[in-house]
Amino acid sequence: MRTYTKYTVDSLMQALREGDFHLSPSSIKHFASSPRDFVKYKVYREEKPTTDDMKMGILYEAFLLDLPHDLKIYSRDEFPVAGKDLRNAKNKAFMDDLKAEFGEDLLVEQTIANVAQSMADRTKRHPVASGLLSRGDTFQKELKWNVNGINLLGYVDVCGDDIILEIKKCRDASFKKFQYDIYDFDYLRQVAMYWDAEGQNKDVYILGCDPSGQVCPVEIKTETLLTQVEEYHQLIDSFKLCIELDAFDAGYEWFYEGAYEL
């Protein structure tokens, strides 16, 4: 799992003034809310516990793309006292030892890994998804590029000569529901940034899969990508202006002057 640079407010402002930073899609997402939200994200965010849902997503992608992962999979069959849960002293001591050795964030139960494996297997059998995956030759490709003097950084799940494919574990892979995730989590901007970095000459897809094994491949149209590229370039220009004016204390008013209307 990737780590991130920890800043204080002063060190962040210094990095911004000196250009010693890279903006990720997540950073731009927070700046798009307000400069204050960007600072909060970079300085005050806490390392949240890795939930079972997040671990399932990590394993799904690892199993699907045959990538290594840092998670330690354990089974309740390993408990010293079979048929008993963690209220049993020996079983609790066994889990405490695992947590001490690997850390709780890296522990995942076999049942969750089994779901992730079934999702990966189902995706590989899907008639459209399997074809998309076969077009990729590089996984978790690091991208570094520059827009108007601002350095950017991202990681493409699947990249090939003619394709960019982002893989998402989702709650519900029906297109009606998955499209809301695509908008709510700013996946469109994310893939448009990667498309821009790769030269705007590749097909772009977002692939969703839910724990039931339903799969939803979504092709992103060129006109949609061009709109998203134009918008994120505008955000980059706004970010540069924010640096010049030292205006990172600004809130929502940075993007909307005056009063809202109802």
Q: Which residues pair with 138 in a beta bridge?
A: 159
Within 10 A of 199 (CB to CB), how many other CB atoms are there?
Answer: 8
Worst-scoring range by mean pLDDT, 46-50, 88-92, 134-138, 185-189?
Answer: 46-50
Predicted confidence (pLDDT) at residue 4 exceeds the cutoff of 70: no
Please check the confidence at residue 249 and state whether its pLDDT lies above 80.
yes
At residue 166, the 3 state secondary structure works out as strand
Q: Which of 65, 256, 236, 240 is nearest to 156 (CA)?
A: 65
234-239 contacts: CB < 8 A, separation 24 or more? 235/28, 235/31, 235/32, 236/23, 236/28, 236/147, 236/148, 236/150, 237/148, 238/31, 239/23, 239/28, 239/31, 239/150
User: Which pLDDT score, from 0 to 100, does residue 1 have?
Assistant: 53
- d(CA 202, CA 223) in angstroms, rounded, equals 13
**Would you say residue 2 has pLDDT above 70?**
no
- Confidence check: pLDDT of 9 > 80: yes
Q: pLDDT tens digits, residue range 137-170?
A: 999 999 999 999 999 999 999 999 999 999 999 9
In this prediction, residue 115 has a pLDDT band, given cuts at 50, 70 and 90, of very high
Q: What would the pLDDT profile of 36-63 be if each residue is shown by its tens digit?
A: 999 999 998 776 778 999 999 999 999 9
Does pLDDT of 3 surpass 70? no
Identify the structural domains of the chain with CATH numbers, from first to last.
9-47+126-250 (3.90.320.10), 52-123 (no CATH)
**Percent of the chain's residues with pLDDT above 70:** 97
Average pLDDT, rounded, for the chain: 94
Can you tell me the mean pLDDT for 205-218? Answer: 98
How many angstroms separate the CA atoms of 116 and 4, rounded? 26
Q: Name the residue among 7, 4, 56, 38 with its Cα closest to residue 169.
A: 56
pTM listed for this prediction: 0.91
